[in-house]
Amino acid sequence: MSDDLKTRVERHSPSRGAGSPDVWGIYDPDTGSIQYVCACPATKQAALIDVVWNYDPKACAFSDRSLTQVLDLVAREGLSVAWILDTHPHADHVMASAGLKERTGAPTAIGAKVRDIAGIWAGLYNAPDLFDVDRDFDRLLDDGDTLPLGELALDVWLSPGHTLGSVSYICGDAGFVHDTLMQPDVGTSRTDFPGGSAPALWDSIQRILSLPEETRLYIGHDYGSADRRTPEWEATVARHLAENQHVCAGTQRDDWIDRRERRDATLPLPDRMLAALQVNLRGGRLPPCEADGHSYLKLPVGRF
């Protein structure tokens, strides 16, 4: 049997009518990440969300195959890129935002609390001047901000828990909810990274699940399950309320927090994390080249 979790899967979720975007998801098998294109059907304006800059941790080498695949989709569908968005500074993949801006000219944006996340990680790398997020992102977004997208709009929701500054983007009947929920047969996302919080993630998830039940929710990662080897990333609010293994209707807050924290205590760090945060908190840019023409990443020995 073929294992679709090892292939680069693309799927289209078409607009359901007025006020509803077209959504394409592209699965990156190396990291289990899903990259999104959200587009206004009437104007063809699009937002690119959580696109991956491919990183090989064994060779400390980068490639742009995911970025190129997303832009090939944009060209094929006749879209114009209005926004390049990230939901948070990812620990498990490197963001392609700077590279996308170079190729499209579109502005980049992320949640404003990334300033606080940068402060945490500058301390962990023992480099207080390592990051300048106001320089490296075009927009830092607050809860309640709205981004125009043709005849549609993207509403910004602060959704902390996985990180303290994660944001969701709500566009009509589509919610891009990143590392909050997993697919219903898996549950929810981890909260043990610096600045993470299980109680905060519970509150974020409850807000997301208060959306209309027909809302399509798009998650940040999928790794399959014991019974499923095909990647999935879309499920309605109604399906999560009925089937989510961690937070279906009737789940008690304290029970979920205890379960989440006990599970998190068993999880290893993502293999790209210590490299990825140095790049992602620069908006997807490598550190400046040194005298030999190469960039170098710094690893905090023994901090984790």
Residue 65: C-alpha distances to residues 10, 51, 58, 91 (Å): 14, 11, 17, 19
Looking at residue 4, its pLDDT comes to 79
Q: How far apart are the C-alpha atoms of 24 and 18, rounded to whole Å?
A: 18
pLDDT in tens, 93-104: 999 999 999 999
Q: Which CATH class is domain 4-280?
A: alpha beta
Per-chain mean pLDDT for the chain: 96
User: What pLDDT, in 10s, does the model give residues 69-114?
Assistant: 999 999 999 999 999 999 999 999 999 999 999 999 999 999 999 9
Hey, what are 25's tokens? 């998801």
pTM of the entire predicted model: 0.96
Which parts of the chain sit beneath pLDDT 70?
1-3
Report domain extents, the chain.
4-280
What is the structure's pLDDT at 1? 35
Strands 139-141, 108-111: pairing is parallel
